[in-house]
Amino acid sequence: MDQTGRLTVGCHLSAAKGFAAMGKTATDIDATTFAFFTRNPRGGNAKALDENDVARLREHMHEHGFGTLVAHAPYTLNLCSAKSSVVDFARRAMSEDLERMEYLPGNYYNFHPGSHVGQGADVGIRLICEGLDQVLVPGMQTTVLLETMAGKGSEVGRTFEELERIIEGCKHGDLLGVCLDTCHVWDGGYDVRSDLDGVLDEFDRIIGINRLKALHLNDSKNPRNSHKDRHEKLGEGYLGWDTFEAVVTNPRLRDLPMILETPNKLDGYATEIARLRLFADE
């Protein structure tokens, strides 16, 4: 829940106009959280940080009762690439991103664990742990979230067991959590449509429900276990509106920040947010 006791729900927003602009846009669509890329989603260097702009966002969040934000690392970062240059860049970029996130203390930094590109999951998990050990700093105020993946190609993080191995393999696992993507877990084989509580029980048994820190709410264009990762608008895919009503009313999930990554423009996000709030009886 946000600071006013309402559902903490929002969507992915463009950071092109700065931090304060994202806060205003979120409020315009009745969102009390949002996600943003920490740098160009295809990689590259981050823009210079405007501390005054960040301060204006913090003030806006306080005034409008925002909950926790869920920043997103670029898709191209791969901590377990077979190329050392790619791994080195991923570590440098994540370290820089986490330093910048300290200007927004107490929020989340979400990333895709990576793809082992033929090296095997065991090597991939080892490399991810080594990279996280390098970028996680004791005392940091940002929690780093591993995202559940759909399992396409050589993605690591396609099962709860793989995520648990990463968390347990890190020296500073206390700084790690998980972001559960409804499309990804469905495409990965978990039946969140018919057995949401069963999936959460399995998550709790393997990882621990206390590690679940945020949700990506996405319908799926594909049937369960397809391993394809193609998002759909809420209610228009294989999961359907009943799934998302179950999510926002589930006592183990309703207090978490929920981020929409559906193929929408702002008016579409506003419509989805309004319906989710209706489900939550706000």
Whole-angstrom Cα distance, residue 20 to residue 219? 29
pTM across the whole model: 0.96
Residue 234, number of CB atoms within 10 A of its CB = 25
Residue 6, number of CB atoms within 10 A of its CB = 15
Please identify which residue in the block is written with the tokens 């499309």.
Answer: 183
| Longest CA pairwise span in the chain (Å) | 50
Instruction: Provide the pLDDT for residue 132.
Output: 98
Whole-angstrom Cα distance, residue 218 to residue 183? 5
- Return per-residue pLDDT of the chain as tens, 282 residues: 877 789 999 999 999 999 999 999 999 999 999 999 998 776 677 888 999 999 999 999 999 999 999 999 998 999 999 999 999 999 999 999 999 999 999 999 999 999 998 899 999 999 999 999 999 999 999 999 999 999 999 899 999 999 999 999 999 999 999 999 999 999 999 999 999 999 999 999 999 999 999 999 999 999 999 999 999 999 999 999 999 999 999 999 999 999 999 999 999 999 999 999 999 986
Instruction: Provide the pLDDT for residue 282.
Output: 65
Structural domains of the chain, ranges and CATH numbers in brackets: 9-279 (3.20.20.150)
Instruction: Provide the pLDDT for residue 43.
Output: 62
Residue positions annotated with a catalytic role: 42, 72, 75, 112, 147, 181, 184, 216, 229, 231, 261
Three-state DSSP class for residue 26: helix
CA-closest candidate to residue 34, choices 44, 51, 20 = 20
All residues at 6 or more sequence positions from 213 whose CB lies less than 8 Å from its CB, including other chains: 68, 108, 143, 145, 177, 178, 179, 256, 257
* Sign of the four-CA dihedral 62, 64, 68, 73: negative
